[in-house]
Structure 1
Amino acid sequence: MSSAPVAPLVVVLTLSAVLLTSGVAKLRDARATQDAFVALRVPSVVPAGPSAAALPWVEIVLAILLLASPAAVAWLPAAAVLLLMLAYTALIARALRFDEPVSCSCFGSIGHHEVGPQTLGRNVLLSVLAALVLWYVLDDGSAPEAFGALGAAGWWALLATAAAVAVALLIAAPASRGSATSPSGADVELLDYERQPIPYGVLTRLNGKSSTLAEIASTQARFLFFLNTHCASCQRIAAQLDGWADRLDPAVGILAVYFDENVAEHAGHRKDLATWEPELNVQRVLGITSNPSAVLLGADGLLAGGPVRGEDNILELVETVFAELEGAEAPIEQ
C-alpha cells in the first residue's frame, strides 16, 4: 500500500475530517452530546457526564494523531479509532431495536438526528474505513510518510478528490427554508402565524377514551407535547408540564403525547396530562419526525402555533403563549 499513498491518504483524511467535524460539533453543543448518551441508553458503567465532556476532545485528538503519528506508533490511534467506530455502530444497532424512536445528536447540532438504518449504514462504513487505516499502518504505513511520498500527480489527485467531495456536499445539502409552520423554525410569533385547519388525528387517554384532535380542542385551546421517555430534552420538558398546565389554565389545556399506553402510564407528570397515539398517527399527519416537538391547537378548529421541534423552540413557543395570554389579561389603559 505504501507504493500508492493517494488511496490510503484519502481514507485517513476522510476519517480525520469526520472525527474533527464531530468533535467540534459536540463541543459547540455539549448538552446535545450528553443527551445522546441518554437517548442511546449507554450502559451505566460509562458515566454520561464525564464521558460526554471528554468525547469531543477524544475525537479531535484522534483526528490529529491519525495525521501526525509516525509509522512506529500509528497503529495506536488507528486501533483506538476502530474501537470507537465499532462502539458507535453497536450502540446504533442496539438503538434500532428500541420500542421508541430514537433521536441522537451524534454530530452535535449538525446532521440528521433521527436514528435509522441510514445511521447504521454510515457507522458500518466508517468502521470499514477505520479497519482499512489500521491495516495500512500495520503494513508500516503512516500519513506523514504518505504525504512525503506524494509527487505532483498525487497532490493533484488529492486536490481533485477534495473538490469532488466539496461539490457533492454542496449539491446534497438541503436548502434552508423558513416557514411559520416549519418544525425547525425558531420564528413562532403567533401574530405572524399562517393558520391551517387542525388535521385529523386520534389520541387516547389513560382511561381508554379516544378523541380526535378537533374534539380535544373543541372546548379550549390545547398544547400538545410529543415526548420520548428516553430523550433527555423530553425529560426536561416533561418536568415542567405540571407547572405550565397550572399557569395556562383555563385558557389553554396541556397534553403530553407518547407512542404507546405503557409509556404514557409511567410518565413523570400528572396522569391527566398523559395521552398516547396509536401508530404515531398524529405525528405523521403533522409531519413531526423527532421529539421533543409541540403544537398548539386553537379552540376555533385551526392550528394556533407550530409544530415546532427541539427543546429551545418549544420553550420559545411556550413563552410566546404566556406573553400573549398575559397581554390579553392586562387591563386597557384609558
Structure 2
Amino acid sequence: MSSAPVAALVAVLTLAAVLATSGVAKLRDRVATRDAFAALRVPDVVPAGPASAALPWAELALAALLLVAPSRALVAVTALVLVLMLAYTALIGRALTFDEPVTCSCFGSLSRHDVDRTTLLRNVLLSLLAGAALWFAVDGGSVLSVVRDLDAAGWWAIVAAIAAAAVAALVVGTGSAPRAAETDELLDYERDRTPYGVVRRADGSVANLWDLTSTQARLLVVLKPGCGPCVRTAEKLDGLAAQLSPAVGVLAVYPDETAASSVTEHARDLAVSEPDGNIRRGFSVGTPAAVLLGADGFLAGGPVAGERDVTEFFAEVVEALREQPET
C-alpha cells in the first residue's frame, strides 16, 4: 500500500468523510437513529438506547482520528472502522431476509429509505475501503505522512478525486423528485379504482376492501411491530378514529394475526391483519403508510409512506372532512 500512497490517502479520506457525514446526520435526527436499531432488529446484546446515543459521537471520533492518528495508532483506528463497517454490512444483509421491507435511516436525517441490495453493495464497498485503510496503516502509513510527502502530481490527483466525488454526489442527489413537483401531483390527484385486497379481523373472518368500502370510506394505516415510526403513528389512531367517525373508518393493518392481536397503542378493534402481505404489496408501500379508500370504490387519497408524510396526510383528511357540507 505504501507504493500507492495517493490511493491509500483517498481511501482513508473517503472513510473519514462518510463517517463524519453519518455522525452529523445522526445527531440531527436522533429519533431516526434510535428507530434504525429497532428496524434492523439489532441484537439485544447491544442496548439500543445508549448505543444509538453514542454511535454518532463514535463515528465523528473515528473520522477525526483517521485524519490525525500516527501510523501505530492508525492501525487500531482503522481496525475499529473495519469492524464497524462489517457490522453494518451484516445488519443490512440480515435485514434483506426479513419478510417486510426495512426502512433504515443509515445516514440519519439525510437518508430514510428501504434497505435493498444497493444498500448492501454500498456497505460492502465501505468495508473493502476500511480493509485497504487497515493495510495502509499496518504498512506504516498515515494521512499526515502522506500529505507531508505529496508532490504536485499527488495534490492534483487528490483534487481530481474530490471533484469526482462531488460530481457523483450531485448526480445521485438529482434522483429525488422535488417537493414542489410532488405537491403539483397531489393537486392533480387522479382517482384510481380500489384494488382488490383482503384483511382478517380479530374474530378470524376475512373481508375484502370492496366490501369494506361499500358503505363507508376507509383509512388504511399500514404498520408493523418493532418500528419506531409505526409505534408513534399507531398512538395517534384512537384520536384520529374519533375525529373521522362515522364518515371514515380507520383500520390499522398489521402483517400477521399475532401482531394485530397484541397491539397496545390503540383500540384493539381498529387492528386487522393482511394475509400474505397483500395490502402493502398491492399498494407498493413500506411502513408506516396510509391510503384513503372512498366509499365509491375509488382511491380518495394516497398512498403515502413515512412518518412525517403519514402524519400530514392524517391532518389533510381531517381538514377535508371538516370542509364537507353537513347533510
The reply to whether TM is greater than 0.5 is: yes
1:23 equivalent to 2:23? Answer yes
Q: Which residue of 2 aligns with 1:258?
A: 254
Greater Cα shift, 301-310 or 250-259: 301-310
> Which stretches of structure 1, 4 residues or longer, exceed 6 Å deviation after superposition?
none
Shift of residue 251 of structure 1? 1.2
Partner of 1:7: 7
> In the alignment, residue 252 of structure 1 is paired with which amino acid?
V
Deviations 1:29-70 (A, max 9, x none): 111001111111223332222221221111111111101111
In 2, distance between residues paired with 1:24 and 1:279?
Answer: 39
Partner in structure 2 of residue 291 of structure 1: 287
2:239 equivalent to 1:243: yes
In the alignment, what sits opposite 1:60? 60
CA distance in 1, matches of 2:164, 2:188: 41
Distance 1:188 1:211, change over 3 A: farther
Indicate whether 1:196 and 2:191 are aligned. Answer: yes
Deviations 1:112-161 (A, max 9, x none): 52123332222222112111111110111001111112111111111112
For residue 101 of structure 1, what is the amino acid of its counterpart? P
Aligned to 1:84: 84
How many residues are matched?
324
Comparing 137-146 with 299-308, greater Cα deviation is found at 299-308
* Distance verdict in 2 for CA 1:197–1:3, change over 3 Å: closer
Structure 1: gaps (5+ residues): none
Distance in 1, Cα, partners of 2:278 & 2:294:
19
| Correspondences of 1:41-190 after superposition (within 5 Å) | 41-111=41-111, 113-173=113-173, 174-178=175-179
Q: Are 2:197 and 2:282, in contact at CA under 8 Å, matched by a contact in 1? A: no
Classify the secondary structure of the residue corresponding to 1:306: strand
Give distance in 2, aligned partners of 1:178 and 1:240: 25
Question: Could you say what secondary structure the match of 1:218 adopts?
Answer: coil
| Deviates further, 261-270 or 48-57 | 261-270
Match of 1:311 in 2: 307
Distance, in Å, in 2 between the alignment partners of 1:112 and 1:39 is 12
Per-residue deviation, residues 60-113 of structure 1 (Å, max 9, x unmatched): 111111011112311222121112112212222332333333211111132352
Q: Which amino acid aligns with 2:99?
A: D
Write 1 or 2 for the structure with the bigger share of helix.
Answer: 2
SS in 2 for 1:163: helix
Q: Call closer, same or farther: CA 1:193–1:299 in 2, change over 3 Å.
A: farther
So what's the TM-score if we normalise by structure 2? 0.89
Measure the CA separation in 2 of the matches of 1:89 and 1:23. 17
What TM-score do you get using the length of structure 1 for normalisation? Answer: 0.88
Q: Percent identity?
A: 52
Deviates more, 1:127-136 or 1:294-303: 294-303
User: Do the aligned partners of residues 255 and 193 (structure 1) sit closer, same or farther apart at CA in structure 2, a change above 3 Å counting?
Assistant: farther
Distance in 2 (CA, whole Å) between partners of 1:175 and 1:88 is 24
Shift in Å, 1:330? 8.0
The 3 A distance-change label for structure 1 pair 271 and 175 is closer
Q: Write the distance in 2 (CA, Å) between the matches of 1:57 and 1:254.
A: 41
After TM superposition, the structure 1 stretch with the greater mean CA deviation from structure 2, 265-274 or 220-229, is 265-274
- Provide the C-alpha distance between the structure 2 equivalents of 1:273 and 1:202, rounded to a whole number of angstroms: 17
Q: Is the 8 A contact 1:202 1:278 kept in 2?
A: no
Gaps of 5+ in 2: none
Cα pair distance change 1:324/1:200, threshold 3 Å? closer
Shift of 1:218: 1.9
